Amino acid sequence: MQIRRMTELFPELITLPETVDFSPTRAGGLKRLEKFVTRAGQDYARTRSYDFGTERRNNVSVLSPWLRHRLLTEEEVLTRVLASHSPDTAEKFVQEVFWRAYFKGWLEQRPSVWSHYQRDLMDALNSLDNDTSLASRHTDAVSGNTGIDCFDHWAKELVGTGYLHNHARIWFASIWIFTLRLPWQLGADLFLRHLIDGDPASNTLSWRWVAGLHTKGKTYLARPDNIAKYTEGRFRPTGLAKFAEPLTEPVEHPRVSFPILQMQPKEPFLLLVSEDDMTGASIMPVPPVAVVGLLATHGRSPNPVGFIPVNFAKEAMNSVLSDHEVRAQSADDWSLPIIEAAQSAGVRRIATAYAPIGPVRSRLDRAEPILREAGLTLERLIRPYDAVSWPHAKAGFFGLKKKIPNVLSQLNFIAVTK
């Protein structure tokens, strides 16, 4: 298969209004958190399902770009919100934040879902070369040219802004799968390449959830009256599928255990910052001797990843690295830049925040034996938040949801720092 130019070019892109500022810095995330925090209680519970459009995003936090890269951590956001609201008032928001941990923990325990997705995506991309009708429907979908006004709008909003409201993501995925009858993997790939918060776990498993593969047999059908209600009449599409027959797959995905690593790097060590956790320094017992920052954003897909997510990750990492006078590097083989950085720092030990399933993890896995041969050890430290949440992500979200009070009481919430 030749890698095509998946550029999703539009005559008119929807761009971000000034009211939404995806500033790729920790300060930008903290500013957004402060702006949102008063609304995280009943306001959020009452209005969060409404997609009011790009100009009005104050009913949801829009914190996912920072949370996905851990420029802000879940603990920080929860600490700040629970300082302003009682656990009861903020219950809905707190639960939503835990969906991220649920999906990460679930995929961590069923890694074959990710490897099958990657394989099936390649098959679906290949089939575009051989099936002209499929290729033309796909081109219409990714170019926002299907004639379904809401879908076309969201396709343009996705590429133009790097963000979609949760409800729009659900409707979009449902229309993609059940009305346009396109392979779900191609839709998941489109999201992963353009969402700033594009995340292997949340994205793959949400698409599977809509398709009836995550909760087996339970699908999500996008309905015109539901779309009209929750977009306040901006859209009332016609011609949508009336049934959503669950997709099936011929494989079972066995559950595997994942290591809970709580290693303490002994001095001296090199800190490896990745886009999966840009504030990993905060979980290290002592400051590092030196820092290296490596990007894997281009590894989200075999096709080109959009400028907006690529730029967010790069600029965010540069802002984190600026104190150390190094710049973010992008590479497929991470062993070389790590060995160079370790040699120039004169250390044999590298520590990094544990990376969940995805392109960062696969690069670390490939680099590790080469580092070992070079006499270097790589330590991956799991955050306490992940260590206590992930084991409850064995089946449905309810398993983790009912443990949230326990999880919160086990965690030492850290204070929000500038």
Ligand X SMILES: Cc1cc2nc3c(=O)[nH]c(=O)nc-3n(C[C@H](O)[C@H](O)[C@H](O)COP(=O)(O)OP(=O)(O)OC[C@H]3O[C@@H](n4cnc5c(N)ncnc54)[C@H](O)[C@@H]3O)c2cc1C
Residue 196, interface with ligand X (CB under 6 A)?
no
3-state secondary structure of 14: coil
Give first-to-last CA distance, the chain, whole Å.
47
Least distance between ligand X and beta carbon 289 (Å):
33
Residue 62, interface with ligand X (CB under 6 A)?
yes
Q: d(Cα 110, Cα 112) in Å, to the nearest integer?
A: 6
Least distance between ligand X and beta carbon 125 (Å):
19
Q: Which of 144, 162, 198, 309 binds ligand X (CB under 6 A)?
A: 198
CA atoms within 13 A on the CB side of 56: 11
Least distance between ligand X and beta carbon 271 (Å):
24
Q: Which of 37, 60, 271, 320 binds ligand X (CB under 6 A)?
A: 60
Q: d(Cα 362, Cα 364) in Å, to the nearest integer?
A: 5
Q: Which of 146, 203, 231, 279 binds ligand X (CB under 6 A)?
A: 203
Q: d(Cα 117, Cα 178) in Å, to the nearest integer?
A: 19
| Candidate segments 131-139, 193-201, 237-245, 324-332, binder of ligand X by CB under 6 A | 193-201
**CB-CB neighbours of 148 under 10 Å:** 23
Residue 137: what residue type?
R
Residue 125, interface with ligand X (CB under 6 A)?
no
Residue 230, interface with ligand X (CB under 6 A)?
no
- The residues in 84-123 that bind ligand X, with binding defined as CB under 6 A, are 96-97, 99-100, 103
Residue 276, interface with ligand X (CB under 6 A)?
no
Q: What is the dihedral sign for C-alpha 355, 356, 360, 364?
A: positive
Q: Which of 170, 180, 317, 338 binds ligand X (CB under 6 A)?
A: 170
State which residue, 128 or 393, has the beta carbon closest to ligand X: 393
State which residue, 105 or 280, has the beta carbon closest to ligand X: 105
State which residue, 68 or 314, has the beta carbon closest to ligand X: 68
Burial annotation 252-290 (CB, 10 A radius, 16+ → b, else e): ebeeeebeeeeeebeeebbbbbbbbbbbbbebbeeebeb
Q: Which of 166, 311, 318, 330 binds ligand X (CB under 6 A)?
A: 166
3-state secondary structure of 39: helix
Residue 206, interface with ligand X (CB under 6 A)?
yes
Say how many residues touch ligand X, by CB under 6 A. 27
CA atoms within 13 A on the CB side of 376: 28
Contacts of the segment 320-327: beta carbons below 8 A, 24+ positions apart: 320/26, 320/71, 320/273, 320/278, 320/279, 320/293, 321/273, 321/291, 321/293, 324/290, 324/291, 326/290, 326/291, 326/292, 326/293, 327/293
Residue 191, interface with ligand X (CB under 6 A)?
yes
Least distance between ligand X and beta carbon 191 (Å):
5
Residue 22: what residue type?
F
| DSSP letter assigned to residue 323 | G
Question: Minimal CA–CA distance to 119: which of 249, 219, 243?
Answer: 249
Least distance between ligand X and beta carbon 284 (Å):
24
Residue 386, interface with ligand X (CB under 6 A)?
no
Residue 207, interface with ligand X (CB under 6 A)?
yes
Least distance between ligand X and beta carbon 373 (Å):
35
Least distance between ligand X and beta carbon 185 (Å):
12
Q: Which of 75, 152, 199, 386 binds ligand X (CB under 6 A)?
A: 199
65 preceded by a cis bond (ω within 30 of 0): no
State which residue, 199 or 368, has the beta carbon closest to ligand X: 199
| Candidate segments 23-31, 55-63, 369-377, 390-398, binder of ligand X by CB under 6 A | 55-63
Question: Minimal CA–CA distance to 221: which of 182, 170, 285, 259?
Answer: 170
Residues at the contact surface with ligand X, assessed by CB under 6 A? 48, 60-64, 67-68, 96-97, 99-100, 103, 166, 169-170, 173, 191, 195, 197-199, 202-203, 206-207, 210
